[in-house]
Structure 1
Amino acid sequence: MLNARLKRLHQDKDVLRQMVADLVGATNLANQAIKELKSTAVEADLSLTARLDEAERFGIELANHVTAGTVLMERIARITSVARHSQAIEPVEEPNKVRSALEQLSARVRNREAAA
């Protein structure tokens, strides 16, 4: 009976050794996977940080362009406003009226020359 138990214990010992070896192998694989995940996480963090920095620079540049565009639009609006007000104040004569006035002036000059 003791001999049978010793045989069973030796058989269990071999199975237990195999289980421990499998467990050590799985642990090594898990450790390697964790190292690779950490490496990937560090690379992703560096890449993301670089992209965020670049996006921040682009954001600042875009804000500067928008501000410059706003200033330019305000200047254009002021210029067009002044131009519209000056046109409203000084009515532009039609070309026919200008031509007619020039002809009348020329006729008067001729009449004065003829009278003199």
Structure 2
Amino acid sequence: MAILLALTIGYCVLLNQRLKRLHQDRDALRQMVADLVGATNLANQAIKELKSTAVEADLSLSSRLEEAGRFGVELANHVHAGTVLMERIARITSVARHSQAIEPVEEPNKVQSALEQLSTRVRNRGAAA
């Protein structure tokens, strides 16, 4: 009986040591879980900030692209108006070269009116862009 009692006490001491190690491991595991939760919260916050930054960048880029598109249309209109004007000037100079004598303009108001209409069209095309 004494031997069984001694074996039981020895086994209890052994179990006690294992329980102490288990409690130490449990505390370490609890600390590890707390660190993991903290890291997860930091990662979630970083993801939220990245999303908001991406949205801001998208809005900024969209507005800049729209502005660039408007400038492109306006520039194309100006180039077209310039091309039309150059063609008219080329035709006028061609006619002037081929004619023997340049006749004086009988109606200067018509010329002035035509120039005003041309400048109005150019401005309207620029505003439409």
**Class of the TM-score when normalised by the shorter of the 2 chains:** 0.7 to 0.9
Tell me if 1:5 matches 2:3.
no
Tell me if 1:87 matches 2:74.
no
Specify which structure has the bigger relative contact order, considering alpha-carbon pairs within 8 angstroms and separated by 6 or more residues: 2
- Which residue identity does 1:53 align to in structure 2? L
Structure 1 residue aligned with 2:21: 15
Q: Deviations over 1:32-85 (max 9, x none)?
A: 110111111111111110111011001000100001000100000110011111
Tell me if 1:56 matches 2:62.
yes
Q: Following the alignment from structure 1 to structure 2, what is the Cα–Cα distance between the partners of residues 4 and 86?
A: 120
Q: Deviations over 1:94-115 (max 9, x none)?
A: xxxxxxxxxxxxxxxxxxxxxx
- Which residue identity does 1:60 align to in structure 2? E
TM-score w.r.t. length of structure 2? 0.69
TM-score w.r.t. length of structure 1? 0.76
- Which residue identity does 1:45 align to in structure 2? K
Identity of aligned residues (%): 9
Count of residues in Structure 1 that have an aligned counterpart in Structure 2: 93
Tell me if 1:67 matches 2:53.
no
Q: Following the alignment from structure 1 to structure 2, what is the Cα–Cα distance between the partners of residues 24 and 2?
A: 32
Q: Following the alignment from structure 2 to structure 1, what is the Cα–Cα distance between the partners of residues 82 and 70?
A: 18
Q: RMSD over aligned Cα, in angstroms?
A: 1.4
- Which residue identity does 2:55 align to in structure 1? T
Q: Secondary structure of 2:59's partner?
A: helix
Q: Which of these two proteins has the greater Rg computed from alpha carbons?
A: 1
Structure 2 residue aligned with 1:111: none
Structure 1 residue 92: Cα displacement: 8.0
In structure 2, list runs of 5 or more residues that go unmatched: 1-6, 100-129
- Which residue identity does 1:65 align to in structure 2? F
In structure 1, list runs of 5 or more residues that go unmatched: 94-116
Q: Following the alignment from structure 1 to structure 2, what is the Cα–Cα distance between the partners of residues 33 and 5?
A: 41
